[in-house]
C-alpha cells in the first residue's frame, strides 16, 4: 500500500480534481488521457499546474507525468479509472494490452463498471490484480476552463467494493491511503446508494423549460430548485428504500430531506454556495440522463421489477426519460439482465 506512484486515467473534472488531491498528498501521479480529450488542458497544466478551487485543495500543483501514452501510465501498479460509464469499456480495451496481474484498478465512480471492464479483459485474455469501484465520485466538480476546475464539497467518506467474493477489505486497504474509504457490502448496494440515482433524472425532466431558456448557464440547485423537485426526490428515496429493504441491503445514504432543506435555505449556509452554483444539466443529452438513467436508475428499476416492489414515480421518470430521449435505457442499461451470471459477484 505504501508506494507513491499512482496512475489516473481520464482528464475530465473528476480526474483533474483527483490528480490535484493526490499530488497534494505526496503521490507521484501519472495522468493519462487521449490527446483529443485533453490537449488544451494538459498544455495549461504543463505551464501553470492544475488550477483548482474548493475546500481541502491546493491550486497550482503539477502531476509528475502528463501523457498521451497509456503504456506509460500503466507503469504504475495502482490505477484509478476516472472516466464516465460510457467510456469504461473503451478505456478497458485500450488498457488490455498493458494490464498485468500486479495492477490494482479502482473505478471512480463505478456504476457497476467493474463488470464491464472485467468482460473486456477476459475477452482479451488479460490478467489483473484487484478490480474495485467507488459507489460515487469523491468530488462534486466541474471544469471551468482549460486546466481550471472547481470542487464544491470537501471529500467525505466513500464506500468501496471489489468485484470478486471477499476482496473488498483488501481493496479498502490497498486504496485507503488515497481517500477516506469504508468497505461496502457489495457493488450492487454501493451503486443503488449513490445520490445520483435520486437527484439527477428528476432534475432534468422537471426543469426542461428552464434548461432550454438558460442553456449551459443552468444550475440545477439554484435555477431548478423547487418544492416539486424536493417532493419528487423524496418519493424516489422512499421507493429506492423499499427495494433495498426487500433485497436485504442497507440504505446507508444520508436522508435527502435535511440536505435539501439546507439547499433551499442556502443564504443561511454559505458553505453550500459553490455546490448550488455548479453548472448543469444542459439538456436531455447531459450525463444526468444518459449515464444515470442507463446505470443506477436502470439497475434500480430492474431489481424492483424482479422483487415485485411498486415504484410508480421511478418507473414514470425512467419511462419519460427514454421516450423524450428516443433511447431504450432499459435494453441499453446495466440491469439484472445485463449482469447475467456476473450478478453472483455483485450482490
Domain boundary among 184, 213, 228: 184
CA distance 47 to 52: 14
What phi and psi values does residue 31 have, to the nearest 5 degrees?
-115, 125
CA dist., res. 347 & res. 343, Å (int): 6
- 204 and 326: one domain? yes
Same structural domain, 156 and 246? no
**Do 178 and 285 share a domain, yes or no?**
no
Residues 6 or more apart in contact with residue 166 via CB below 8 angstroms: none
Q: Which of 184, 216, 232 is the last residue before a domain boundary?
A: 184
Q: How far, CA to CA in Å, does 69 sit from each of 34, 45, 47, 95, 234?
A: 8, 17, 20, 11, 45
CB 94 within 8 A of CB 20: no
Pair 33, 96 in one domain: yes
What confidence score (pLDDT) does residue 254 get? 84
Check whether residue 165 and residue 258 sit in a common domain. Answer: no
pLDDT computed for residue 269 by the predictor: 85
- CA 5, chain centre distance (Å): 23
Choosing from 184, 208, 237, the residue where a domain stops is: 184
Q: Is residue 178 part of a domain?
A: yes
User: What DSSP character marks residue 164?
Assistant: S
CATH number at residue 147: 3.40.50.720
Q: Is residue 189 part of a domain?
A: no
- pLDDT means per 10 residues in the chain (347 residues)? 85 98 97 96 98 96 98 98 97 98 96 98 97 95 96 92 93 96 96 94 96 92 91 96 97 85 84 88 95 96 98 98 97 97 94
In a domain, 191, yes or no: no
My answer on whether 200 and 180 are in the same domain is no
278 half-sphere exposure, CB direction, 13 A CA radius: 21
Residues 21 and 146 in one domain: yes
The confidence score (pLDDT) of residue 12 equals 96
Tell me the C-alpha to C-alpha distance, in Å, between residue 9 and each of 48, 67, 72, 115, 156.
21, 10, 11, 18, 22
Domain, as residue range, for 308: 196-345
Same domain, 69 and 136: yes
DSSP string, 67-99: ES-HHHHTTSSEEEE---HHHHHHHHHHHTTT-
* Domain count along the chain: 2
* Cα→Cα distances 60→16, 74, 227, Å: 12, 25, 40
Q: What is the CATH number of the domain that holds 272?
A: 1.10.1040.10
In a domain, 132, yes or no: yes
123 and 256 part of one domain: no
> Are 126 and 244 part of one and the same domain?
no
In a domain, 274, yes or no: yes
Both 215 and 173 in one domain: the answer is no
Cβ neighbours around 91 below 10 Å, total: 23
**pTM strictly above 0.85:** yes
* Residue 28 pLDDT: 98
Q: Which of 119, 123, 114 is nearest to 164 (CA)?
A: 114
Q: What is the DSSP string of 245-299?
A: HHHT----SPPHHHHHHHHHTGGG-GGGHHHHT--B--STTSHHHHHHIIIIIHH
β-pairing verdict for 104-107 and 28-32: unpaired
For residue 203, the Cα-to-chain-centroid distance in whole angstroms is 17
Whether 26 and 165 share a structural domain? yes
> For the segment 254-273, what is each residue's pLDDT rounded down to a tens digit?
888 788 888 888 888 888 88
Please report the pLDDT score of residue 105 as a whole number: 98
Helix H or strand E segment including 53: strand 51-53
Amino acid at each position: 500500500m505504501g508506494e507513491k506512484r499512482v496512475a489516473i486515467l481520464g482528464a475530465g473534472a473528476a480526474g483533474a480534481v483527483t490528480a490535484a488531491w493526490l499530488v497534494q498528498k505526496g503521490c507521484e501521479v501519472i495522468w493519462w488521457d487521449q490527446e483529443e480529450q485533453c490537449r488544451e488542458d494538459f498544455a495549461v497544466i504543463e505551464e501553470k499546474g492544475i488550477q483548482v478551487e474548493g475546500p481541502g485543495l491546493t491550486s497550482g500543483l503539477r502531476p509528475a507525468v502528463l501523457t498521451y501514452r497509456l503504456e506509460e501510465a500503466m507503469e504504475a501498479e495502482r490505477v484509478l479509472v476516472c472516466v464516465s460509464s460510457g467510456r469504461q469499456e473503451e478505456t478497458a480495451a485500450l488498457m488490455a494490452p498493458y494490464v498485468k496481474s500486479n495492477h490494482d484498478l479502482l473505478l471512480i465512480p463505478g456504476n457497476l463498471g467493474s463488470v464491464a471492464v472485467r468482460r473486456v479483459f477476459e475477452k482479451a485474455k488479460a490478467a489483473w490484480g484487484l478490480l474495485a469501484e467507488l459507489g460515487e465520485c469523491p468530488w462534486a466538480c466541474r471544469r471551468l476552463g482549460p486546466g481550471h476546475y472547481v470542487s464544491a464539497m470537501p471529500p467525505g467518506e466513500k464506500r468501496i467494493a471489489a468485484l470478486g467474493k471477499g476482496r473488498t477489505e483488501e481493496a479498502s486497504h490497498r486504496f485507503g491511503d488515497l481517500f477516506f474509504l469504508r468497505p461496502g457490502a457489495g457493488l450492487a448496494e454501493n451503486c443503488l446508494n449513490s445520490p445520483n440515482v435520486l437527484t439527477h433524472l428528476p432534475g432534468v425532466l422537471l426543469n426542461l423549460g428552464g434548461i432550454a431558456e438558460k442553456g449551459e448557464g443552468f444550475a440545477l440547485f439554484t435555477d431548478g430548485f423547487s418544492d416539486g423537485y424536493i417532493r419528487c426526490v423524496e418519493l424516489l428515496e422512499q421507493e429506492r428504500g423499499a427495494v433495498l429493504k426487500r433485497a436485504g441491503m442497507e440504505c446507508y445514504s444520508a436522508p435527502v430531506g435535511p440536505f435539501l432543506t439546507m439547499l433551499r435555505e442556502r443564504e443561511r449556509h454559505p458553505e453550500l454556495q459553490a455546490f448550488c452554483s455548479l453548472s448543469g444539466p444542459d439538456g436531455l443529452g447531459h450525463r444526468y440522463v444518459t449515464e444515470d438513467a442507463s446505470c443506477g436508475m436502470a439497475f434500480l428499476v430492474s431489481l424492483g421489477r424482479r422483487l415485485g416492489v411498486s415504484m410508480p414515480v421511478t418507473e414514470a421518470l425512467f419511462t419519460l426519460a427514454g421516450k423524450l430521449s428516443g433511447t431504450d435505457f432499459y435494453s441499453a442499461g446495466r440491469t439484472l439482465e445485463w449482469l447475467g451470471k456476473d450478478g453472483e459477484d455483485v450482490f
